């Protein structure tokens, strides 16, 4: 699934301004993949990580290598047991290295990287190396990396990193794209290579970021209690972890199976096309007993509430509950960029109080774009 956001988000604008070299992108507002150098230059939050710890010997086919739901395939076998990062990988003996360069073999095509569950990639970083000879060992600082990113099978961006300026092995390479891509392909070549058709890329600690860099924490705009009565605090009490809770006490319950407390809070986001929405709830019971809490979000596409936070034990001490909405996050954004969360408390056994109360310290939504 790929979404075309068509707009630059504030953080991306900020990064574009900082990088400066891509000022033309800023002007034309055409999202492209940008290559970067250095840890944290592309990935600001690692959602997936490949450490290649299962590649414990040379000669393993890399044609369908997968790790942490990342496909990292190349038409080549593995090569380990040599230094290809100029020491930058420390004592980690296991990494992804094409048996190539002057050692024979090598991939005759791209290293192809995508998520096995079709999630778009917004940024990638890895430790770069290669198995080209440097005259006395392996890892040639004068090699270069050719790359391209694809969306739905179409190349959206392409480029080359090195040899001017030089791309030393042991460098952290990165790529990011505000619109996301679904596939990135990489090749590592060197001057005067014995076979122009092979490549010899090596990588380790490959991080993927599956979301953009925009996030927003929302406090409720309004709260309506359906079951129960408010005995302390108000909508504003739900906005922050400030010692000021909203307290809702059991009151009228329509049936014995119904939750004793139900309230609905509305929110407004500036992120029109979120890729993920998280519910953050901090709550406890005021009275002892057996209770469970759940949280739901209104799915505007399905026109119904969908449970996001599974039924969870609610005790006498505050606990923070975090849950992500299932399915497509955009379906939970309605007219005027509104969102609706619902919290329910279910009594599952006896209580010390006839009308037990719940104390709710905050109910926030974290929206990721
Ligand atoms: Ca490793
Ligand atoms: Ca509060």
Residues 292-305 pLDDT 10s = 999 999 999 999 99
| Ligand nearest to the Cα of 67, by number | 1
pLDDT of residue 100: 59
Per-residue pLDDT at 48 exceeds 50: yes
Sign of the torsion formed by the C-alpha atoms of 344, 345, 347 and 348: positive
The CA 136 to ligand 1 mean position distance, Å, reads 23
- Between CA 74 and CA 40 the distance in angstroms is 26
Mean pLDDT of 262-272: 95
pLDDT of residue 3: 36
Q: Identify whether 66 is preceded by a cis peptide bond (ω within 30 of 0).
A: no
Cβ neighbours of residue 192 closer than 8 Å, sequence gap 6 or more: none
The CA 238 to ligand 2 mean position distance, Å, reads 5
- Between CA 189 and CA 287 the distance in angstroms is 68
Domains and CATH numbers, the chain: 10-209 (2.60.120.260), 215-368 (2.60.120.260)
The CA 186 to ligand 1 mean position distance, Å, reads 19
Ligand 1 (ion): which residues have CB within 5 A?
51-52, 92, 94-95, 204
The CA 62 to ligand 1 mean position distance, Å, reads 15
Neighbours of 4 (CB within 10 A): 10
Mean pLDDT of 66-89: 95
- pLDDT, one tens digit per residue, over 298-353 is 999 999 999 999 999 999 999 999 999 999 899 999 999 999 999 999 999 999 99
* Confidence band for 168, pLDDT divided at 50, 70 and 90: very high
| Report field, pTM of the whole predicted structure over 0.85 | no
């Amino acid at each position: 699934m790929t979404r075309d956001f068509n707009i630059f988000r504030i953080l991306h604008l900020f990064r574009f301004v900082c990088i400066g070299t891509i000022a033309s992108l800023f002007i034309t507002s055409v999202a492209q993949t940008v290559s970067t150098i250095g840890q944290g230059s592309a990935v600001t939050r690692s959602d997936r990580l490949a450490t290649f710890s299962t590649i414990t010997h040379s000669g393993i086919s890399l044609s369908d290598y997968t790790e942490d739901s990342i496909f990292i395939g190349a038409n080549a076998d593995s090569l380990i047991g040599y230094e290809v990062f100029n020491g930058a990988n420390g004592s980690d003996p296991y990494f992804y290295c094409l048996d190539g360069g002057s050692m024979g073999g090598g991939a005759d095509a791209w290293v192809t990287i995508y998520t096995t569950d079709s999630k778009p990639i917004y940024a990638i970083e890895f430790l770069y190396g290669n198995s080209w000879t440097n005259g006395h060992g392996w890892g040639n600082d004068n090699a270069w990396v050719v790359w391209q990113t694809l969306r739905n099978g179409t190349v959206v961006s392409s480029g080359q990193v090195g040899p001017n300026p030089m791309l030393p092995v042991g460098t952290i390479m990165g790529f990011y794209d505000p619109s996301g891509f679904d596939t990135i392909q990489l090749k590592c070549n060197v001057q005067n290579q014995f076979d122009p058709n092979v490549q010899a890329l090596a990588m380790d600690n490959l991080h993927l970021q599956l979301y953009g860099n925009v996030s927003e924490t929302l406090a409720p705009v309004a709260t309506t209690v359906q079951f129960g009565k408010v005995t302390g605090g108000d909508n504003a009490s739900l906005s922050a972890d400030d010692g000021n809770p909203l307290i809702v006490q059991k009151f009228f319950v329509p049936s014995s199976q119904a939750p004793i407390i139900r309230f609905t809070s509305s929110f407004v986001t500036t992120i029109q096309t979120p890729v993920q929405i998280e519910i953050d709830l901090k709550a406890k019971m005021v009275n002892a007993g057996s209770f469970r809490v759940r949280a739901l979000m209104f799915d505007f596409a399905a026109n119904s509430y969908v449970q996001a936070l599974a039924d969870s034990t609610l005790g006498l001490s505050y606990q923070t509950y975090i849950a992500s909405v299932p399915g497509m996050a955009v379906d939970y954004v309605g007219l005027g960029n509104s969102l609706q969360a619902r919290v329910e408390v279910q009594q599952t056994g006896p209580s010390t109080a006839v009308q037990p109360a719940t104390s709710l310290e905050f109910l926030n939504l974290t929206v990721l774009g």
